[in-house]
């Protein structure tokens, strides 16, 4: 998940405040319990988020009626699990949820690393309702939980800055609906040796009163993909966003639909299925004479992130504010080909415009032509601009779904 927040340079506006024909009106209206409407807007008040697809969820104490509605929840196909910002960190969650514990009865916490940041917080149990469907008693991360205020050095040394406040995260919660059922599976279930319990790279921690140390956590106790925990419609998701005009829109609409081929509203239709590597959860993108084998489709990324072979057509933006984005002198029309691990292919046409000029439009928060260089290089991150005007499917590994073996992306 890449993030870009621009609240520092413009006011927070949305279709509710700015009545504009560019707000988008092509996405379907959900008519079933497995669908929930959302919006691409500036996010929670003062967040100033660009290209974030936000919905609302309800979090409850397991089995009870003590519940909270959480707005400003970022839908992210590039991560796994529900991660809610606590009220003490500027978010909305003020419920007291039961902590998940290890075999010894010690509470568990997690250090979750994104591409450009990390979150720290307890792993708690909650009932989570999205649309008309409920995942019961699932482990979620409570970011900035005041019960665990001290971030271990091995977490803060992950390489990115903390995203443990509303100002840093830009959302009240993240809904990770990527292509696997739990956070990190077998790799996190292996016990760290004594020599590495405080080394960077630990994900889960046992937190007795003496402090938190790296620990093994079994798959069922890890933060779970909420879709895989639904009683039905649990083999993946479809995201259907409205198309938007060139130059951006104040707001756009979209629908998150649970299940693939399980209801009338989530059939694959003529979508091209791209099976992905079950180990890396990626496919290959061929672009400008080079193949990028670690590519992914990620609704939690604000732009299209890739390396261009020259700096002539796609130079970086001048100055320091947006120098991680491309600023061509004129909008560039480009193409690439995505290749599944089974040889299936799909050509994609896309555009990249001057990011500085786009972001200076104080009335727009939805853009389909924002691009920038990928960190590390060897991948193509098809972020939210790829989703506009498309139905994009993400299947969950191990879950039966039409279209062939899972996991896969399809569009």
pLDDT tens digits, residue range 39-90? 999 889 867 889 999 999 999 999 999 999 999 999 999 999 999 999 999 9
Listed in order, strand segments (DSSP E) in 51-208 are 52-60, 67-76, 80-85, 108-113, 118-130, 133-143, 173-177, 204-206
Global pTM reads: 0.89
Range 374-387 average pLDDT: 91
Which fold does the domain 263-410 belong to in CATH? Cathepsin D, subunit A; domain 1 (2.40.70)
pLDDT tens digits, residue range 140-159? 999 999 999 899 988 888 76
Whole-angstrom distance, CA of residue 9 vs CA of residue 15: 19
pLDDT tens digits, residue range 237-277? 999 999 999 889 988 999 999 999 999 999 999 999 999 99
Is pLDDT of 231 > 80? yes
Per cent of the chain over pLDDT 70 is 88
pLDDT tens digits, residue range 322-357? 888 999 999 999 999 999 999 999 999 999 999 999
Whole-angstrom distance, CA of residue 201 vs CA of residue 210: 21
Closest CA to 109 of 229, 214, 225: 214
């Amino acid at each position: 998940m890449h993030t870009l927040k621009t609240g520092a340079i413009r006011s927070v506006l949305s279709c509710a405040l700015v009545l504009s024909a560019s707000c988008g009106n092509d996405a379907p209206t959900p008519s079933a319990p497995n669908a929930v409407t959302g919006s691409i807007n500036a996010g929670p008040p003062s967040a100033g988020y660009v290209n974030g697809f936000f919905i609302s969820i309800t979090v409850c104490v397991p089995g009870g009626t003590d519940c909270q509605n959480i707005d400003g929840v970022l839908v992210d196909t590039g991560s796994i699990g529900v991660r809610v910002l606590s009220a003490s960190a500027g978010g909305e969650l003020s419920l007291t949820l039961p902590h998940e514990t290890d075999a010894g009865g010690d509470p568990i916490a997690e250090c979750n690393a994104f591409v450009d940041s990390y979150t720290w917080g307890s792993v708690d149990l909650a009932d989570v309702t999205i649309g008309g469907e409920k995942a019961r008693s699932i482990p979620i991360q409570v970011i900035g939980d005041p019960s665990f205020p001290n971030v271990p050095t091995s977490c803060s040394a992950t390489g990115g800055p903390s995203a443990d406040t509303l100002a840093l995260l830009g959302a009240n919660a993240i809904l990770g609906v990527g292509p696997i059922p739990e956070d990190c599976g077998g790799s996190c279930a292996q016990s760290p040796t004594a020599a590495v319990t405080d080394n960077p790279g630990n994900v889960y921690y046992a937190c007795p009163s003496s402090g938190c140390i790296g620990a093994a956590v079994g798959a069922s106790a890890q933060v779970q993909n909420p879709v895989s925990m639904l009683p039905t419609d649990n083999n993946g998701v479809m995201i259907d966003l409205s198309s938007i005009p060139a130059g951006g829109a104040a707001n756009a609409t979209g629908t998150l639909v649970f299940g693939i081929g399980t209801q009338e509203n989530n059939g694959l239709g003529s979508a091209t299925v791209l099976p992905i590597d079950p180990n890396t959860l990626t496919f290959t993108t061929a672009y400008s004479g080079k193949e990028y084998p670690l590519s992914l489709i990620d609704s939690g990324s604000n732009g299209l992130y890739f390396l261009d072979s020259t700096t002539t057509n796609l130079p970086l933006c001048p100055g320091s504010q947006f120098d991680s984005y491309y600023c061509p002198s004129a909008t560039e029309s480009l193409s690439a080909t995505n290749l599944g691990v089974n040889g299936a292919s799909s050509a994609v046409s896309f555009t990249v415009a001057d990011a500085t000029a786009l972001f200076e439009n104080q009335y727009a928060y939805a853009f389909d032509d924002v691009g920038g260089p990928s960190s590390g290089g060897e991948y193509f991150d098809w972020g939210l601009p790829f989703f506009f005007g498309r139905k994009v499917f993400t299947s969950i590994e191990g879950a039966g779904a039409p279209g062939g073996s899972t996991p896969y992306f399809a569009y």
